[in-house]
Amino acid sequence: DARVTQTPRDKVTEMGQEVTMRCQPILGHNTVFWYRQTMMQGLELLAYFRNRAPLDDSGMPKDRFSAEMPDATLATLKIQPSEPRDSAVYFCASGFLAGGRSTGELFFGEGSRLTVL
Amino acid sequence: SQQGEEDPQALSIQEGENATMNCSYKTSINNLQWYRQNSGRGLVHLILIRSNEREKHSGRLRVTLDTSKKSSSLLITASRAADTASYFCATDAAGNNRKLIWGLGTSLAVNP
């Protein structure tokens, strides 16, 4: 049963610390999304990769957030330094986009719940 | 800004009743998708309806799309306690680089 795997599931850290979240997308998928979910803002897109190339990170605070896909089996989201306002659940999702077609079904991981004290 | 807006924000019904949730959006779309999220879990894809489709069924789910009104509805028939979750619509807006735009969701409680 293919699934998106995210680690860690829960992370509690202190303000100023570096946080790295990891995602293993489903094998064969060519798009990866990082979302942040809060009660107030809902799902916010942070970064979007297609064939490992970053397509859109306009929703990501560039001064402290960075997202990479070092290879097809790993996507990372790093926050340095972390702040209390970064507390949220971070989701990774993957999907397959064929050329010229619309975005199809996304498969989500279980999320990484981050608490910054 | 959010493309999709779900209505109502919260819905509470009894088991066996039907639940209807609505989603409105602002721009032309390629498709519209509905997802479910159980508490503390990731989102799960339910159904996708393309811009040239008007209605789609999947089990107890029925989705309609009215592109003239820029709206969609999700109907869950004969609801069960296990349907308790948040439901989100997401639109693949035309010309939006294939990103999905999400609504804030409808929280559904199905009481036994």
The domains located in chain A, with CATH, are 17-98 (2.60.40.10)
Instruction: Tell me which residue in A42, A48, A110 faces B99 most closely, judged by beta carbons.
Output: A48
pLDDT given at position B7 = 82
**pLDDT bucket at A29, cuts 50 / 70 / 90:** very high
Q: Kindly list the distances between the CA atom of residue B3 and the CA atoms of A63, A116, B19, B91, in Å, as whole numbers in the listed order.
A: 26, 29, 22, 7
Mutation target to probe the A interface, by most A beta carbons within 10 A, among B33, B35, B38, B43 is B43
What proportions of chain A, in percent to the nearest 5, are helix, strand and coil?
A: 5, 55, 45
For B68-95, the pLDDT digits (tens) are 999 999 999 999 999 999 999 999 887 6
pLDDT given at position A2 = 85
Question: Number of structural domains, chain B?
Answer: 1
Asked if the model's pLDDT at residue B97 lies above 80, the reply is no
Query: For A43-51, what is the mean pLDDT?
Result: 92
CATH code, domain carrying B14: 2.60.40.10
A108 inside 8 A of chain B by CB: yes
CB contact under 8 A, B99 and A104: no
Asked if the model's pLDDT at residue A98 lies above 80, the reply is no
pLDDT given at position A1 = 73
Structure tokens at B40: 């503390």
**pLDDT bucket at B2, cuts 50 / 70 / 90:** very low
Query: For A2-9, what is the mean pLDDT?
Result: 96
Burial of B31 (0-12, 13-18, 19+ CB in 10 A): buried
How do beta strands A31-38 and A42-50 pair? antiparallel
For B12-60, the pLDDT digits (tens) are 999 999 999 999 999 889 899 999 999 999 999 999 999 999 999 999 9
d(CA A95, CA A108): 9
- Residues in chain B closer than 8 A to A42 (CB atoms): 2, 102-105
Answer for the pair A11, A113: CB distance below 8 angstroms, yes or no. Answer: yes
* Spatial CA neighbour of B71 closest among B20, B12, B13, B17: B20
User: Which range marks the domain in which residue B18 is found?
Assistant: 5-111
Residue listed under structure tokens 């790093």: A78
For A62-79, the pLDDT digits (tens) are 899 999 999 999 999 999
For A50, nearest residue in chain B (alpha carbons)? B98
pLDDT given at position B98 = 65
**pLDDT bucket at B1, cuts 50 / 70 / 90:** very low
A95 inside 8 A of chain B by CB: no
